[in-house]
A and B are shown apart, each in its own frame.
Chain A
Amino acid sequence: MLAPLERRRLGRLNPLSKLALAGAFLAASSLVFEPRFQLAAILAALLPLILLDGASPLGLLWRLWPFALVGLGYLWLNLAFFDRAAAYTWTSAAVPVAQNPALFAGTTLFLRAIALGAISLFFVRTTDPADFLRSLMLRCRLPARWGFALLAAFQFLPGLAEQLRLLRLAQAQRRGVQPQGWAQRLAGYRRLAIPLLADSIRRADRAAIAMEARGLRHPLTRSSLRLSPFGWADGLFLATGLALLAALYFSLG
């Protein structure tokens, strides 16, 4: 089992330094059309999680399967529509690594989808959402009411699925029949929208009132009990990460 976030090495880094480096890797991964670069980006994102935070490799791969599924779609499309993929590959890639241009393009897109997922996973698994939003509020001037509204939404989301489940059960039993076919199901969802919306608005109202009653719109600038500092570890993390990115870009990009 993983240790709590604050006790893991990557969890102690400033969220904004992780955001900056993850942003740089995401941008590079989106721009460079080269499978080895994408593979290196995947390893750069996952190896620190495994080596420094003790994450399970299989667990990480399990979380990446939706991205792999999207990537497989790209791969299949390129193999199925060879000519168009080839044209794209010859005009976009400086040095093709595969003799088959369709396979080259498909593999790159497949790995890119996984790379984007792996980089996002790195950020999400190492960052406390409250710390991240607090940093955005205090260092990037995100208005507090937006920051705490996002936190409230983060707390409400799991409950929303439960509310929808209860609504479907409640309405199905009133009608006495389960909706059959797409048309009936769509109509059913439309009918669920009003009570779900009413319930969500009421919950949001209650949360907003509770926040305001506790001084959210106070005219003073908020203080903060704790703010993730920028330390030497952040400097080392950023410098190492950016140096690695530059090396990958110039050698493989």
Chain B
Amino acid sequence: MPPSARRHEPGGAAIEIEGLTLTHAYRRHPTLRDVSLHVAPGERVLLLGPSGSGKTSLALCLNGIIPQSVPASIDGSIALAGRPVGKEPPGVWAETIAFVFQDPDSQLCTLTVEDEIAFALENRALPPSEIDGRIDAALDRVGLPRAWRQRASRFLSGGEKQKLLLAAALAQEAPIHLFDETTAHLDPASTLEAYGLIARVMAERPGASALFIDHRLDRLLPLIDRVALLDGEGRLVLTAPPAALFHDHRAAVAATGAWEPLAAALFGFLREAGLALAQRPLTMDEVPAMLSHVAQSSRDRDRLMGLVGQWLAARRFPAPAASGPLLLRAEAIGYAPRGGPTLLAGVDLEIRGGEILGIVGANGAGKSTLGLILAGLLRPSTGRLHGPDGPPPPGGFLFQNPEHQFLAVTVAGELAASPGAEGQQHLEAALDRLGMQGKRDLHPFQLSQGEKRRLSLEALMLAPARPLLVLDEPSFGLDAAGTENLMRQIAALRQSGRAILLITHDMDLAAALCDRLAVMSRGRLLKVDRSDAIFGDDALLAAARLRPPETQALEAWLDARAA
């Protein structure tokens, strides 16, 4: 049911937040400042903001986990379903608000599927017969077979685990749901399935309110009634329906550094170029039809197409005109840990200097294992790596968790710790590039997620004689501004002649940066080809559980028009 067709139920608000100011213990500055937000029964609100804007903190205040379990000082008031959230234990609110968080592995409280769904219901002391019925109903709703009740949850895939956690949240039958970056760890196909599932189950419960925290907007916005925009200082800048916020207040969104939907970005660009457009699309699926309509009725048809092509081109970092020299050749690479299953088999690959090669595939396809081998950190069980004149060149690997790589206790020390990066001149230049002169004496763990990622990449770049760099999910958890910075940093690396291997689930990032893509599935390399050829192969994408980038339909539209 589209948001406009769903009527919000009359009566008091489901969530009432008044003048909430939150300061975490041992922090000088508030994380949230004077936030007031009302969510009506049946309303679906997206909480949007850059990294560190306090979105998850706000969510954890709703049931009192902050400040009761996570120490903090709080001013203001919160009420759920008309009851003030006071000093009761957070657990009592489980019948009113059901949470699904981002990392499925950290949320599993028990060992089997049925125990996981039963957990919240047992805590509320519901009778076993009722729990039993709710488990079956919840499994049916998310499409997991009842026969899986006794299955160990650790053997489920990432997408199945997230379905299980959604089932557990639905079984709570709470009037309010909170989804905190629920799809962040999922591959593209699982992400699409998860959004479809959330849309379906929420449509079955029109009276239930939901608060979403997410930055993958294109698939989520059709569910959303209203967006609440937070800035980096934790202030609520404005709340508005999605179309109004992303089309009428585009500058306000951009000023916060939060993500905006691609469709709004495109139409904003076209309006700024002088085209008068009444349409306000929120998803890229809507865009081709709207543009066709505009093209038919507009005298500026050619200009429109030129501008669309310009916008698409601006999203891409140009590939070098000629391919660089051969840097590394992998022949029949395989890997199986001692006593473990085969993780990689028969991988043949060539990497050239100055190229960005994307490695894409579903969760567990073997992407990170291949990256570790190509970077020289894992010895392959079978096969060989060759450099142009013999042994393979030394590589660097940017781990998903940047904290893994930190060696020093200050930002400056971290940069200076790279072998071969000694010298004050190098250090100052690196701090300038990162914009971290003012943070040089902070512990690296104190930086924001985006800053940690950029620091770890810069430290890796400083080490000389590493012509190959492997970046494992470098954009994970970053906001729009952080991702933009990172993309520029990666593009600059390519200019220096190094080869970059980019492991990612973000197909738009891959389309923007990668010259070629290597598609993996279940430990095997299915195909290596130019990015546009890969994204045009529907059968291959389906086999590897991938999706084309959101701009694919627009490119097809442009090509058809040009033809």
B403 in contact with A199 (CB, 8 Å): yes
Instruction: Assess A6 versus B128: contact at CB under 8 Å? Given A175-B419, A198-B445.
Output: no
A195 in contact with B112 (CB, 8 Å): no
CA distance A208 to B107 in the complex (A): 8
What is the total of A-B residue contacts with beta carbons within 8 Å?
155
- Residues in A with CB closer than 8 Å to B382 are none
- Residues in A with CB closer than 8 Å to B69 are 208-209, 212
**Which label, helix, strand, loop or mixed, suits the secondary structure of the A interface?**
helix
Interchain nearest-CB distance for B393 vs A (Å): 14
CA distance A4 to B149 in the complex (A): 13
- Residues in B with CB closer than 8 Å to A167 are 404
CA distance A57 to B463 in the complex (A): 55
Closest to A192 in B: B404
CA distance A169 to B470 in the complex (A): 13
Interface residues of A in 107-136 (CB under 8 A from B): 128-130
Closest to A210 in B: B107
Closest to A218 in B: B91
B125 in contact with A225 (CB, 8 Å): no
CA distance A123 to B414 in the complex (A): 49
Closest to B105 in A: A159
CA distance A208 to B108 in the complex (A): 10
A210 in contact with B109 (CB, 8 Å): yes
B128 in contact with A213 (CB, 8 Å): no
CA distance A148 to B123 in the complex (A): 12
Chain A CB within 8 A of B372 CB: yes
Most-contacted residue by chain B among A144, A169, A220, A225 (CB, 10 A): A225
A223 in contact with B111 (CB, 8 Å): no
Which of A4, A209, A219 sits near B150, CB closer than 8 Å? Answer: A4
- Residues in A with CB closer than 8 Å to B172 are 214
B132 in contact with A213 (CB, 8 Å): no
Write the B102-143 contact mask toward A (1 if CB under 8 angstroms, else 0).
010111111110110011111111111001100100000000
Write the B3-28 contact mask toward A (1 if CB under 8 angstroms, else 0).
00000000000000000000000000
CA distance A6 to B150 in the complex (A): 9
Interchain nearest-CB distance for A112 vs B (Å): 30
Closest to B396 in A: A173
- Residues in A with CB closer than 8 Å to B94 are 213-215, 218
CA distance A222 to B98 in the complex (A): 18
Closest to B88 in A: A219
Interchain nearest-CB distance for A180 vs B (Å): 15
Write the A172-183 contact mask toward B (1 if CB under 8 angstroms, else 0).
111110000000
Chain A CB within 8 A of B437 CB: no
Chain A CB within 8 A of B60 CB: yes
- Residues in B with CB closer than 8 Å to A6 are 150
- Residues in B with CB closer than 8 Å to A212 are 65, 69, 90-91
Which of A154, A174, A176, A209 sits near B60, CB closer than 8 Å? Answer: A209
Chain A CB within 8 A of B95 CB: yes
Instruction: Assess A151 versus B407: contact at CB under 8 Å? Given A209-B65, A224-B122.
Output: no
B114 in contact with A225 (CB, 8 Å): yes
Chain A CB within 8 A of B405 CB: yes
- Residues in B with CB closer than 8 Å to A63 are none
Chain A CB within 8 A of B154 CB: yes
CA distance A219 to B88 in the complex (A): 9
Instruction: Assess A218 versus B124: contact at CB under 8 Å? Given A166-B404, A173-B396, A206-B106.
Output: yes
B107 in contact with A207 (CB, 8 Å): yes
Instruction: Assess A214 versus B99: contact at CB under 8 Å? Given A6-B150, A166-B404, A219-B89.
Output: yes
B372 in contact with A169 (CB, 8 Å): yes
Instruction: Assess A151 versus B126: contact at CB under 8 Å? Given A170-B404, A210-B99, A214-B168.
Output: no
A171 in contact with B404 (CB, 8 Å): yes
- Residues in B with CB closer than 8 Å to A203 are 106
Interchain nearest-CB distance for A205 vs B (Å): 8
Interface residues of B in 351-406 (CB under 8 A from A): 372, 375-378, 396-397, 399, 401, 403-406
Which of A169, A199, A211 sits near B397, CB closer than 8 Å? Answer: A169
B109 in contact with A148 (CB, 8 Å): yes
Which of A199, A207, A223 sits near B128, CB closer than 8 Å? Answer: A223
Chain B CB within 8 A of A216 CB: yes
A199 in contact with B105 (CB, 8 Å): no
Chain B CB within 8 A of A185 CB: no
- Residues in A with CB closer than 8 Å to B108 are 155
Interchain nearest-CB distance for B428 vs A (Å): 21
Instruction: Assess A175 versus B91: contact at CB under 8 Å? Given A129-B111, A225-B115.
Output: no
Chain B CB within 8 A of A84 CB: no
Instruction: Assess A218 versus B123: contact at CB under 8 Å? Given A224-B128, A225-B128.
Output: yes
Chain B CB within 8 A of A226 CB: yes
Instruction: Assess A174 versus B89: contact at CB under 8 Å? Given A215-B94, A218-B94.
Output: no
Q: Which 5 A-B pairs have the closest CB atoms?
A: A215-B94, A215-B123, A206-B106, A218-B91, A170-B404
A sample of 7 cross-chain residue pairs with beta-carbon separation below 8 angstroms, ordered by A number, consists of A155-B108, A155-B111, A169-B372, A206-B101, A210-B99, A216-B123, A217-B89
Apart from the given pairs A154-B111, A173-B376, A214-B99, 5 other A-B contacts in the complex at a CB distance below 8 Å: A6-B150, A169-B372, A175-B419, A213-B65, A225-B128
Residues of A within 8 A of B (CB): 4, 6, 128-130, 144, 148, 151-152, 154-155, 159, 166-167, 169-176, 191, 195, 198-199, 203, 206-226
